Amino acid sequence: MAPIPLFLLFSTLLLRSAATSPPQDLVRSSCLNASYPSLCLRTLSSYSGPINTPRDLAQAAVKVSLARARKASTYLTTNVTAATGKSGGRERAALSDCVEQMAESVDELSRTLGELKHLRGETFEFQMSNARTWVSAALTNEDTCLDGFRAVAEKVKSDVKKTITNVAKVTSNALYMIRKLDETGGTNW
């Protein structure tokens, strides 16, 4: 009996895996063209809730973004408190502005999640427009936060940049998933 070529064995295992995990296929295929595909795949593959439809996927992406935005907001709030007595006015002002921007991002992502949870056929287009607008605004807030740190001490700038950039990347992926859901016209949800 001849040995099975490695590529044939790998292909068979891949097909068998795909046949047993349709939700993972949805995540994989949807993340391929996201802004940050590997981050998308990593965050949504490990997501604990159900992901069976494009709607589930969009909600999961927004939930991931919201959780990271909340965590970043807490981190920044803690740093603003700590920086009040230890840093210069520019650093405090940049942190304070960033805390405000992140609070707005959390609010906008929360509103988006609420909208996605209550999609209805007759108002689908309007609701999707709201969702796109709010996630875009959250992404803008995250970018604006980073802009405020151009003239700030490198250590603080580096820490904030790393934190906010991570949030911005998952938010960008969430916007992509919302756009994909919008393209479906709400079918399969």
Q: Provide the mean pLDDT of the chain.
A: 83
User: Which residues contact residue 180 at a Cβ distance below 8 angstroms, ignoring those fewer than 6 apart?
Assistant: 30, 54, 57, 58
CB 18 within 8 A of CB 142: no
CB 44 within 8 A of CB 27: yes
Q: What is the structure's pLDDT at 11?
A: 40
Q: Is the predicted pLDDT of residue 87 greater than 70, yes or no?
A: no
Task: Please tell me which residue, 135 or 88, carries the higher pLDDT value.
Answer: 135
| Domain annotation for the chain: domains and CATH numbers | 22-184 (1.20.140.40)
**Neighbouring C-beta atoms of residue 180, cutoff 10 Å:** 16
pLDDT in tens, 122-166: 999 999 999 999 999 999 999 999 888 776 767 667 888 889 999
What's at 75, amino acid-wise?
Y
Band of pLDDT at residue 19, cut at 50, 70 and 90:
very low
Mean pLDDT for 28-39 is 94
